[in-house]
Every structure is written in C-alpha cells, then in structure tokens.
Structure 1
Amino acid sequence: MNFVQPIRDPELIREIKRFLREKSHRNYMLFVTGINSGLRISDILQLRVSDTERAYFNLVEMKTDKKKRIEMTPNLRKELKEYVEGKEPHEFLFQSREGVNKAIGRSMAYKILRDAAAHVDLDDIGTHTLRKTFGYHFYKQYKNIAILQKIFNHSDPKVTLGYIGIDQDEMDKAMKGFRI
C-alpha cells in the first residue's frame, strides 16, 4: 500500500470539487463527505440515506468495531440534505450503478479519487487522503491535536501529527530555511 498525503492546498480542493461535481453528484458528495467528516472510506461507503436524518453520523467503525458519533459540519449537512432528496431511507448514499441498492466498492472510490487527482496533477492520493485532508485542515484551523486524536481514535498525539503530515510539513519548512 502506498503512503498517501492530505490535500493541503484549499485551491486544489476547490478544483477537485468542481471537477467531481461536473462529472457526478455522487462522486462529488463522496469527496465532500470524506473531507468534512474524517471517516474512513469503509465507513463512508456503508452510510445510508437514513444516516443523514440527524445532525451527526452515528455508526460502529468497521475497522475498530467501536461506536462513533461525528457531528456533521453545517455545510455537509446542507449538501447531504439536497443530495438525498427523493431517495429512500434504506438506500446507500453512494450507490453503485450495478445491481439494486449496492454501495460502490473501495476500488471504485479509489478510481474516482485517482481520476480527480490526475486532473489536478496530484500524486500520493488514495481513499485515505479524504480522512487525512480532514485532519490536516482541522488541525490547521483549530490547532487542537487532542480533539483530532479522539476523532481519529489514535493512541498518541504524535501518531496523529504524523498521520496528517504536520511532521513532514515542519521538516520540509526547516530544510528550506536551513543555511550553512
């Protein structure tokens, strides 16, 4: 498995959103849900329309089998409300075009993200990029590693900082400024 990075540049995020929205509302919403929730792709793909009826996601994480409650950002809530209009509560949010009420798979989610990344010339992108992008921008906005650590269920703040690429940013900045 390749090491993936968060998308640090807000302009690239806007361009990816524009690109995905033009291609498919489903693909756009997959991206928006990921970068606004911090959920793993395995949990996002299991979401159903009924999961958007509250102001938060209430789920059991597939990886850890732990219960999790994540408040939706106001913007995500608004966009999801529009997206699910006319859909039945039992339907998957991100349906495959194959079969009846089947969620897209992880490999399709990966393909969607790689296509968008290629459009903006980004490398080191995968499904985990969504979660890392959320974490990176959450940290940059609030500088509260303790809350982010809890959201991600990490054991140590150092793990969280490394996970979202803050350590790499600091090393890169130090090396660029180093003079001898």
Structure 2
Amino acid sequence: MNFVQPIRDQEKISKMKEYFKRCNQRNYILFLLGISTGLRISDILQLKKEDLLGTHIIIRERKTRKQKRIRIPPSSRNELSEYAKSLNDGDYIIKSRQGCNNPIDRSTAYRILRQAAEFINLKEIGTHTLRKTFGYHFYKQTKDVAMLQELFNHSSPSVTLRYIGINQDSMDKAMEKFKI
C-alpha cells in the first residue's frame, strides 16, 4: 500500500480544481467534497442528491458505523448544492456511467485523482489525499488538533498529527537546518 500525503500547496489545490472543472463536473465535485468535508472516500461515494441540499451532511460512517453530522463549509455549499440540484431525486452524487444509478467505485475514484495529479505533476496521491488535505488545512487554519481528532474519530492527537503530515513537516524542517 502506498503512503499518501495531503496536498499542502494551495496553488496545487487550485490547479487540481481548474483541471477538474475543465474536464468533468462530477469529478470536480468529488474533489471538492473530499477536501472541504474530510469525509472518507467510501462515505462520499454513498452520498445522494438529497444529502447536499442542506447545510449539513448527515451520514452513518461505513468504517465506524457512527452517525456523523458534518457542516458543509459556506465556501463550497453553493457549488455543491447547485450540482445536486442538477441531478434527479435519489441519484448518487458521484454517479457511475455504468448502470442506471450506481456510484463509481473506490478504484475509479483513485484513477480519477491519479490522472489529475499526473497532469499537475503531483506525487504520493490517493483517495485518502482528499481527507488528509482537509485535515492539514483545517489544522493550519485553526490549530485545533482536538477538534480535528474528533472530526476524524482518531484515538489521540498524535495519531491525527501523523495522519495529516504535520509530524513529517516538522521532521523535514528540522532536517533542513541540520548539519554536521
């Protein structure tokens, strides 16, 4: 299994958004949902039209089986709800082209992200990159590791910091200054 990183650079996030907007609206929404809510890919793929029409997404997490209520950030809400309104009632948000009304699978989501990452020359990307990117930027903006730990349902702050790459950032910075 490959180790993936968050997208730390805001410019690269913007380039990913631009790429998806030009190529495919559904894929853009997949990316936007991941980086703005911190949901796992398995939970994103199960969302339907109705899930994006309010101010919150209410789900039962597939991994933990816990019910979760996530506020859709105002910065993303308009785009997400406009896209949802373009769908039929009961449609999956990230709908597959195969079948009548099925979501894409995890491997398709991975291929979508890899293709965009290659286009902008981004390495170490996978489906967890979306969640990690959300976490990294949430932490950088708020410095609230306890809140992020709760959002991610992690067992400790150290697990959360390692997950979002903050520990790696600290080690990299320390090594830059190190000399013998």
Match in the other structure for 2:175: 175
The Cα of 1:132 is off from its aligned counterpart by 0.1
**What's the CA shift string for 1:2-52, capped at 9, x where partnerless?**
110000000000001000111100000100000000000000000000101
User: 2: CA distance between counterparts of 1:49 and 1:85?
Assistant: 7
- Secondary structure of 1:155's partner? coil
Match in the other structure for 1:14: 14
- Secondary structure of 2:116's partner? helix
Instruction: Identify unmatched segments of 5+ residues in structure 1.
Output: none
Match in the other structure for 1:75: 75
The Cα of 1:121 is off from its aligned counterpart by 0.9
**What's the CA shift string for 1:130-152, capped at 9, x where partnerless?**
00000000000000000000000
- Secondary structure of 1:121's partner? coil
Match in the other structure for 1:2: 2
TM superposition outliers: structure 1 runs of 4+ over 6 Å: none
* 8 Å CA contact retained: 2:49, 2:85: no
Amino acid aligned to 1:4: V
Match in the other structure for 1:95: 95
* 8 Å CA contact retained: 2:57, 2:69: yes
User: 2: CA distance between counterparts of 1:102 and 1:41?
Assistant: 15
**What's the CA shift string for 1:68-112, capped at 9, x where partnerless?**
111000022111121122322310001001110110110110000
The Cα of 1:53 is off from its aligned counterpart by 2.0
User: 1: CA distance between counterparts of 2:16 and 2:53?
Assistant: 27
The Cα of 1:59 is off from its aligned counterpart by 0.5
Alignment of 1:12-161 (within 5 A): 12-161=12-161
Instruction: Identify unmatched segments of 5+ residues in structure 2.
Output: none
User: 2: CA distance between counterparts of 1:117 and 1:40?
Assistant: 19
Task: Give the length in aligned residue pairs.
Answer: 180
- Secondary structure of 2:54's partner? coil
- What is the RMSD computed on CA atoms of the aligned residues? 0.8
Give TM-score scaled by structure 1 length. 0.98
